[in-house]
Amino acid sequence: MEKILNFIQTIKKKYLLEEMPFLSKQLKIASIEKPYKGLKILHNVPFTKETLLKLEILYAGGADIVVTSPSFMEVDNNILIPFIEAGGVWRELESTKDTLFDIHMDCAGELINNPSPKIGAIEITGTGTHKYAAAKLYYPVISVDQSKIKSLEGILGTGEAFVRAFKELATNDIKNKSFMIFGYGKVGKGIVNKLRKETENIIVIDAEQKNIESAKKIGIRSYASNETAKIEELAKDMFAIVTATGVEGVITNNYNSINFLGKFLANMGGEDEFGSNFKSSDVMCQKRPINFFIDKPTLMRYLDPVFYAHNLGIDILLYSNLGYGLHPFPKFISDETISSWKEAFEEEVIF
């Protein structure tokens, strides 16, 4: 345990502690109380340097952890190899299906077909929340996405990361360029919010009228996703088209792909939202979320409260006597966390 914690400390030196007040507080408590001692945990969250800072709390708290990473991202061997050499237990996602764990810490619902955990699961994304909500479960699942805490990452963090990644991977000049955004949930709203500092030439497509009206209220052209002919015509003239719906194959299944090709295509969901009519080479980063192809996929100040809540889900599972099925992350903890975050960073929070 000491070796892996020392390795994480070398990574941690590159981050400011003031950027992670919640994890820092959680680490102090876990190091003293060892609340996870004896728990066997399967941890499936995108494996990045930032994720190691989340894992530090679980290791310090005494957990027995098997680490894997979702299928939608490539793992950086420059991080993985030294992690394994330091004693970290790593398994490929598919190879985890033969082992029973006490707790699943999941992303995008990718552990839903694994053997049921003895105690329960904590899901961090909207995509995964939808999967768990539709499944017949014989264990409790806590959804961090069903809390305002997730908006700090989804609306503020992911939006900032998308613009930073797009500039780095596609072009440095996006001033006044035209973008079509499919999906105006947390991620889509965040992308639009940050893109508006570069261009007002943005169109939003969404299946829900409330989201369409929400975008229109801030002056964004918006259309219902079933206005097929109109959307296909508009798509022809776009500089970039971005998917953030959480729905697999949403473009292939609803539109003629010929109208989308030849543009910058970017997927920001955990699923392949462009679908089978698009080759991997047609879409940036082989259809994977583009922010995971740059250094610091999401800035730590936005990840900190979300990672904190994901870890805290273990305590909620252990002590709340939850029934089978999906449960939202507790509102009173979410409200308190949001209030503390706003006070710490003095940044406007948009819901």
Segment 266-312, tens digit of pLDDT:
999 888 999 999 999 999 999 999 998 988 888 899 999 999 999 99
Q: Report pLDDT digits (tens) over 309-327.
A: 999 999 999 999 999 999 9
CATH 3.40.50.1480 spans which residues of the chain? 2-146+299-345
pLDDT of residue 350: 67
**At residue 125, does pLDDT exceed 80?**
yes
Q: Which CATH code fits 155-288?
A: 3.40.50.720
φ, ψ dihedrals at 117, nearest 5°? -65, 150
Give residues with Cβ within 8 angstroms of 34, minimum separation 6: 61, 62
CATH 3.40.50.1480 fits 2-146+299-345, yes or no: yes
For strand 140-143 and strand 202-206, is the pairing parallel, antiparallel, or unpaired? unpaired
What stretch(es) of the chain map to CATH 3.40.50.720? Answer: 155-288
Cβ(179)–Cβ(196) below 8 Å: no
Interacting residues of 196 by C-beta distance below 8 A, sequence separation 6+: 202
**CA neighbor of 298 nearest in space, from 106, 205, 146, 161:** 161
For 42-94, the pLDDT digits (tens) are 999 999 999 999 999 999 999 999 999 999 888 999 999 999 999 999 999 99
* CB neighbour class for 288 (10 Å; exposed up to 12, middle 13-18, buried from 19): buried
Q: Which candidate, 222, 210, 151, places its Cα nearest to that of 181?
A: 222
**With 90 as the cut, is the pLDDT of residue 151 above it?**
no
Q: How far apart are CA 250 and CA 75, in angstroms?
A: 26
Q: What percent of the chain has pLDDT over 70?
A: 99
Task: Read off φ and ψ for residue 202, nearest 5 degrees.
Answer: -125, 135
